[in-house]
Amino acid sequence: MMPHCILVYKMLSSPIVITFVAVLSAAAGVWLTSVHSLSRPLVPFSGGVLMGVAMFWLLPEMAEVLGWWTAIAWTLAGFAALAVVDRFVYPVCPACSPSHQHDHCATRLHGFALPLLSAASLHSGLAGYRRRSAQTSRMLGPALLMAIAFHKVPEGIALGVLTRASLVSPFAALGWCALAESATLAGAAAQSILAPHLNSEALHALLAIASGSFLYLGGHAIHGELRRSGAAPAFLPALTGVAGSSVLRLFVS
């Protein structure tokens, strides 16, 4: 029994570290949003970070396997699918509706939590699956493992900020962020079961769809602030978030 437990721990050690870093980052985002002087610019900034992560972190990884045109096509498919859901099934952010009276809402991104956490869970689960697949072929060294975990920092902070802006309670925001990031462990645990049915191309296509969802959600967060405060308070923090994501990507690479 003990050797089996040790084997399971070794299989999940990388996803555990990645999940731990992601949850800490989300907690930092939740806390930063509670600082009154920072809360207003943080929402469009985090929207920009989410878009930057999609464009400069996820898309190049998908392109390595699928090719640039195919990766872009799947990303746009994810963007379009969420747009259809927003229009005909579930409003991604009711606050962005022209008829919505946002002043009556208790949160700045009323209705945003469900699609955001769903997209984050999908991405985390597939990322855990992919990291577990890589670990079956070679053990990850400490430096490589920390580089992979570092990829989760900007995404986790943005998730924490936007989820906190979507929910009344900071504890609820932190709990839901932790649950979404824990999908990394579920994806890693399910890798051996799903491996015969999910090849590399299908995996990266699903990740590209998640990337398209991040683009759509990040754009919606910026749009909400644009309607409330105008162009400069919305676009300046958003562009800073996009630029910060791209620079951080170059630094990590």
CA angle 89, 95, 226 (to 5 degrees): 125
Are the beta carbons of 162 and 47 closer than 8 angstroms? yes
Residue 101 in domain: no
Which residues form the domain of 65?
A: 12-33+43-95+108-252
Owner of token pair 């299908």: 202
Domain-located, residue 103: no
Is 22 inside any structural domain? yes
Predicted pLDDT of residue 252: 61
Q: Is residue 2 part of a domain?
A: no
Contact in structure between 67 and 191 (CB atoms under 8 Å): no
Q: What is the DSSP letter of 108?
A: T
pLDDT in tens, the chain (253 residues): 444 444 444 445 677 888 888 999 999 999 988 877 777 888 899 999 999 989 988 888 888 888 999 999 999 999 999 888 888 887 775 545 544 444 445 456 767 888 899 999 988 888 778 776 665 444 445 555 565 667 788 889 999 999 998 888 899 999 999 999 999 888 888 877 777 777 778 888 888 888 999 999 999 888 878 887 888 888 999 999 898 887 777 766 5
So what's the pLDDT on residue 104? 47
Structural domain includes residue 1 = no
The reported pTM is: 0.83
Distance (Å) of CA 162 to CA 77, 154, 167: 23, 12, 9
pLDDT of residue 1: 43
Q: Is residue 200 part of a domain?
A: yes
Residue 156 maps to a domain = yes
Which pLDDT value is given to residue 4?
44
The tokens of 158 are what? 């943005």
Contact by Cβ (8 Å): 167, 107: yes
Number of domains in the chain: 1
117 vs 157: CA distance, rounded Å: 13
Is 20 among the domain residues? yes
Residue 180 identity (one-letter amino acid): A
Residue 207 has a pLDDT of: 86
The pLDDT, as a whole number, for residue 11 is 47
Task: Write down the pLDDT at residue 36.
Answer: 74
